């Protein structure tokens, strides 16, 4: 029994072969993840866990795609656009799976790259990005594109997983897909630099409001010393814009560092605007108005 539990998913047939009783296979302590699949003591609401459970069926040619590929690659998907169903694709002549909790897809043979993640066959990240163009709004596609070509390199120095060329290649391969026009529009808005989806959305809101496109992850210097790396900036006006996620409020050290960093920038002649999730909420976010006013003040500064 313990060996099956450690596998994070097993078929009913495997359970019987291991000597499990009917009660152990169908009792209240066992999760019925999919038809013929059982899991024990896992968070079945975690999409990646559901993918691993489905993988226990070991169906040749079944590849995780769309929302499931996005989850397995770690895409920064908003909760509102995540999928509970597992998305599984096949190439013809195989037929897509038909099962409760599974969305089946049939892929054309050319243009898809398949990778292995945690022993599972998964559509490559750039193809998953293209596949989601039919269901995601432009801002989400931009945020994912930013994430793919940036990673955490501005902090860690580690090269990102993808390049703009790879995203552009995926667009060519998916040229007839529903939503490809949206994908092309999103691609033109993808930028290297943002370290969170909210930073990407903030940049888009500012540009849509008619403000100049800001610099991303800009280093602020006082003489020769770097005193901060700010999320967005208008260097010519010495205006820094920082998006503060909730951890900036709940973590005491982060909260204090935000104050110290703002003071250091002020001493170097910079204005700093702090924005939160509330400033990006609603159909007409107030963030552009806040930044526009700060930009106008900064432009009048001698």
pLDDT tens sequence across 152-182: 998 888 999 899 999 999 999 887 777 889 9
* Those residues with Cβ within 8 angstroms of residue 59's Cβ, 6 or more apart along the chain or in another chain: 97
Q: What is each CA distance from 72 to 190, 265, 296, in whole angstroms?
A: 22, 39, 44
With 0-12 / 13-18 / 19 or more C-beta atoms within 10 angstroms meaning exposed / middle / buried, residue 144 is: buried
pLDDT at 13: 86
Share the mean pLDDT of the chain. 89
Average pLDDT over residues 214-223: 93
Whether 51 is in a domain gets the answer no
User: pLDDT value at position 3?
Assistant: 56
Domain of 18, in residue numbers: 2-42
225 in a structural domain: yes
Tell me, yes or no, whether 78 and 171 share the same domain.
Answer: yes
At residue 57 the predicted structure's pLDDT band, cuts being 50, 70 and 90, is very high
Average pLDDT of span 132-144? 95
Using 50, 70 and 90 to split pLDDT, how confident is the model at 214?
Answer: very high
**pLDDT of 250 strictly over 60:** no
pLDDT at 6 over 90: no
Examine the pLDDT at 193 and tell me if it is beyond 60.
Answer: yes
Q: Please tell me the predicted confidence (pLDDT) of residue 46.
A: 92
Largest CA distance in the chain: 81
Last residue of a domain, one of 166, 189, 212: 189
Residues 117 and 183 in one domain: yes
Structural domain contains residue 93: yes
Is residue 104 assigned to a domain? yes
Q: What is the pLDDT of residue 289?
A: 97
Q: Is 277 exposed, middle or buried (0-12, 13-18, 19+ CB in 10 A)?
A: exposed
pLDDT class of 90 with cuts at 50, 70, 90: very high
Q: What CATH number has the domain bearing residue 208?
A: 3.40.960
Q: Residue range 242-256: average pLDDT? A: 71
User: Is residue 99 located within the same domain as residue 24?
Assistant: no
- Could you give the C-alpha distances from 239 to 126, 196, 231, 267, 293, in angstroms and in order? 34, 20, 11, 13, 11
Q: What pLDDT sits at residue 4?
A: 59
Q: Which range has the worst mean pLDDT, 27-31, 100-104, 246-250? A: 246-250
Q: What is the pLDDT of residue 218?
A: 93
181 and 209 inside one domain: no
Structural contact between residues 87 and 64, judged by C-beta atoms closer than 8 angstroms: yes
Split at pLDDT 50, 70, 90, the class of 251 is: low
Of 169, 189, 209, which residue is a domain's last? Answer: 189
Whether residue 80 is predicted with pLDDT greater than 80 in this model: the reply is no
> Is the model more confident about 224 or about 144?
144
Task: Summarize the confidence of residues 232-253 as an average pLDDT.
Answer: 82
Question: Is residue 217 domain-shared with residue 280, that is, in the same domain?
Answer: yes
Residue 249 reports pLDDT greater than 70: no
């Amino acid at each position: 029994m313990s060996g099956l539990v450690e596998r994070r998913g097993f078929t009913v047939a495997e359970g019987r072969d291991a000597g499990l009783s009917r009660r152990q296979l169908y009792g209240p302590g066992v999760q019925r993840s999919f038809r013929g699949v059982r899991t024990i003591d896992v968070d079945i609401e975690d999409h990646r866990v559901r993918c691993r459970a489905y993988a226990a069926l070991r169906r040749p040619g079944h590849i995780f795609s769309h929302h499931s590929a996005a989850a397995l690659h770690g895409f920064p998907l908003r909760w509102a656009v995540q999928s509970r169903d597992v998305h599984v694709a096949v190439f013809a002549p195989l037929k897509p799976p038909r099962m409760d909790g599974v969305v089946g897809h049939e892929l054309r043979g050319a243009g898809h790259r398949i990778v292995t993640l945690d022993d599972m066959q998964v559509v490559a990240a750039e193809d998953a990005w293209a596949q989601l163009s039919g269901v995601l709004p432009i801002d989400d596609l931009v945020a994912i594109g930013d994430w793919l070509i940036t990673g955490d390199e501005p902090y860690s120095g580690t090269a990102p997983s993808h390049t703009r060329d790879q995203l552009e290649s995926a667009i060519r391969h998916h040229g007839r897909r529903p939503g490809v026009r949206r994908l092309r529009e999103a691609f033109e808005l993808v930028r290297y630099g943002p370290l969170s989806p909210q930073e990407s959305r903030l940049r888009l809101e500012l540009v849509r409001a008619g403000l100049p496109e800001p610099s991303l992850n800009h280093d602020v210097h006082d003489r020769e010393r770097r005193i901060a790396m700010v999320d967005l900036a208008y260097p010519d006006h010495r205006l820094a814009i920082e998006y503060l996620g909730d951890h900036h409020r709940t973590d005491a050290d982060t909260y204090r560092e935000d104050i110290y960093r703002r003071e250091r920038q002020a001493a170097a002649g910079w204005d700093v605007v702090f924005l939160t999730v509330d400033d990006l909420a609603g159909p007409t976010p107030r963030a552009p108005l806040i930044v526009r006013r700060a930009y106008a003040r900064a432009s009048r500064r001698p």
